[in-house]
Chains A and B, each alone.
Chain A
Amino acid sequence: MNPLASIIMSSTLISGTLITLISSHWLMAWMGLEMNMFAIIPMIMKNNSPRAIEAAMKYFLIQASASMLLLMAASLNFMYSGQWTLTEMNVSMASLIMLIAMLMKLGMAPFHFWVPEVTQGTVLLTSLIILTWQKLAPLAILFQITPSINVNIILTTAILSILIGGWGGLNQTQLRKIMAYSSIAHMGWMAAVMIYNPTLMLLNLLLYLIFTFSAFTILIKCSSTSTSMLTMTWNSYPLMVSILLIILLSMGGLPPLTGFVPKWLIIYELIKNTNIAMTLTMSILALLNLFFYLRLIYASSLTLFPTSSNLKFKWKINTPNKMYFLPTMVSISLLFLPVSPMILMLS
């Protein structure tokens, strides 16, 4: 892309999210979301293939519909309560419509169908942005309207997201689709704890962003988009596959890695609120996610995966992709569990 266009798109993307994060008026929040959407559409269509254009069209349709629902909810709230402030969401119908709009924006079940398609249809870097940066603004809105959210709907959506995120990712060989289903499942965990302890939701979001960013950075460096390509990376980038092992196990929520912290604290919070059946279901469904992470780990680092060709290695070509902050992210993914008493104290 033209560097000037690239700078304009990136700055619009960043400023759109920031406007939504800092706004207290519904119209400003909506404006930030729209700026976000318009900035990322050309980034999705960067390589101009029919698949990328289809992904951009699907993304635009979903996000535009969600923005319309958001405006409708805000207008409804204003009509009945006279309030434009984000935190003053007192009308139940408006709150419900707003929740649905944010679920569509986040790609949570039952509005999740676009996430794997759009993530698969574009390049790895844009998929990273869609799965990380684009989650910030809708989650910020949900964080602020938490007191007025319908409990039954958010918990149902959470369970459905975890189920669909785990079930859908089971048979995927394309890495972007695996990360998309992983995102759906993680959003489910965040939604489940949102109504009980919104701070934990933020912690889960922060750690999810770190894990996803690290995983995508490794995939971009290795230029792998499918499992079979990942099976060949042990020879070119042996350290990368070890790091990928740590990150995927962490995403699966295995102690003693950092990924155990959000799961443990969320389960603890739900049990404190006597929501034991749901906790049990969520813990069991998390095993589905762990299964396909482990399968990726088996394919890339733990075993010399059988290939159909005689060639057992890939020529290493030095790509100019830089791995920004990867050592920091990996350290956090690996070593953050002992810090959890401090987190408990803070929350």
Chain B
Amino acid sequence: MALAPKLLTGIHGLGKCQMPSAISCLFLGPRFAGYCSSSLQKTAAAPNKALDPQGKSGRDLQSPHRREAALDIPSPDEKPEVSFDKAIRDEIKDHFRRLKDEFVNHWIGPEGRPLHEVMLEQAKVVWQFRGKEDLDKWVVTSDKTIGGRSEVFLKMGKNNQSALLYGNLSSEAPLDGDSGHSGYCAMISRVPRGSFERKKSYDWSQFNTLYLRVRGDGRPWMVNLREDTDIIQKHNQMYSYFMFTRGGPYWQEVKIPFSKFFFSNQGRIRDAQFQLLLDKISSIGLTLADKVDGPFFLEIDFIGVFTDPAHTEEFAYENSPALNPRLFR
């Protein structure tokens, strides 16, 4: 019985996704969870009502499911196409098509464009929010994963010209006897994938500044950049900087030079600081953890990178022999 709405949403999704998400979740488990989760996340991350009180939040999360399920019941004349073999074949064809595109793009130049065009580029929009497919490139997370009470949602803004990240921050620590602190909400970009789900990375070595066009509510956010790596321990390492939003009705242009990003490992800022190398950037994240309980919102128009010719600093921090004698031996 519980599977019925899942099956119906899966059938609805067959037209969009390459395979029915319900069937894939049943049979293939975690392997294709990425395909399941995006469609499920969209329904969970974009409820119609915003900023619900905590008591009603559970019910409100369920009601969009039920409402969408009611809309998705097909008429008796339509026969939904549910074919596992066809879905697998389409999936394999898609991966080989992506592989062929990679070869062709490699012949043309980096990122599929001629090399001189890439080398002379001064500004590039990396993420923009103009449609639902742009939201699929992001994941929202909060301390709910560790038992906290913060909520975060991501939906398209007015006229599909921006994305609205909103929710409720709660610094109430989870009652698990282990955590003393809590209260964070984050929006992290998905790692770009190539053929056969291989990780790709962004090469921003031509640029020196990160640009965000945002409209916030005055709260301080943290911008985090992660590098692409094959080593598991390096997944805890990231480079961060602050983004202070104004609360006004005007759009805010935030420019953060890459030289200002400081290094942190496992959530702690390290004494030994290293420059952010821009040739293998994996993902960007926006985190809110300012210990102030209450609702928040951040409207994002686009995120890009550009070269600021006036900015010549290579690295803003230096290592000190007092803190790190090992580096100076």
* A interface residues, Cβ below 8 angstroms from B: 1-2, 5, 48-51, 54, 57-58, 120, 167, 170-171, 173-174, 226-228, 295, 306-311
Contact = CB atoms under 8 A, between A and B. Distances in A.
Contacts of B277: 49, 51
Give the size category of B's interface with A.
20 to 34
Given A54-B229, A306-B120, 15 more contacts: A48-B326, A49-B277, A54-B230, A54-B234, A167-B106, A170-B107, A171-B110, A171-B115, A173-B115, A173-B118, A228-B119, A307-B120, A308-B121, A308-B309, A309-B307
A308 B120 CA distance: 5
Contacts of B227: 50-51
Contact of B237 (A5, A50, A170, A308): A50
B264 to A, nearest CB: 11
Interface of B: 106-107, 109-110, 115-116, 118-122, 205-206, 227, 229-231, 234, 237, 263, 272, 274-275, 277, 279, 307, 309, 326-327, 329
Contacts of A49: 274-275, 277
A174 B205 contact: yes
Contacts of B118: 173
Given A57-B231, A58-B230, A228-B119, A173 B205 contact: yes
Contacts of A306: 116, 120
B40 to A, nearest CB: 35
Contacts of A174: 205, 279
Q: Give 7 closest A-B pairs by Cβ, nearest first.
A: A171-B110, A49-B274, A309-B309, A308-B122, A308-B120, A51-B277, A48-B327
A61 B72 CA distance: 52
Given A50-B237, A295-B115, A308 B205 contact: no
Contact of A2 (B110, B234, B237, B329): B329
A173 B119 CA distance: 8
A170 B108 CA distance: 9
A227 B119 contact: yes
A174 B280 CA distance: 12
B234 A50 contact: yes
A226 B234 contact: no
A88 B229 CA distance: 42
A310 B327 CA distance: 37
A310 B309 CA distance: 9
B231 A54 contact: yes
A165 to B, nearest CB: 14
A48 B307 contact: no
A228 B107 contact: no
A5 B328 CA distance: 13
20 contacts: A2-B329, A48-B274, A48-B326, A48-B327, A49-B274, A49-B275, A50-B234, A50-B263, A50-B274, A51-B227, A58-B230, A173-B110, A173-B118, A227-B119, A295-B115, A306-B116, A307-B120, A308-B206, A308-B307, A309-B307
B121 to A, nearest CB: 7
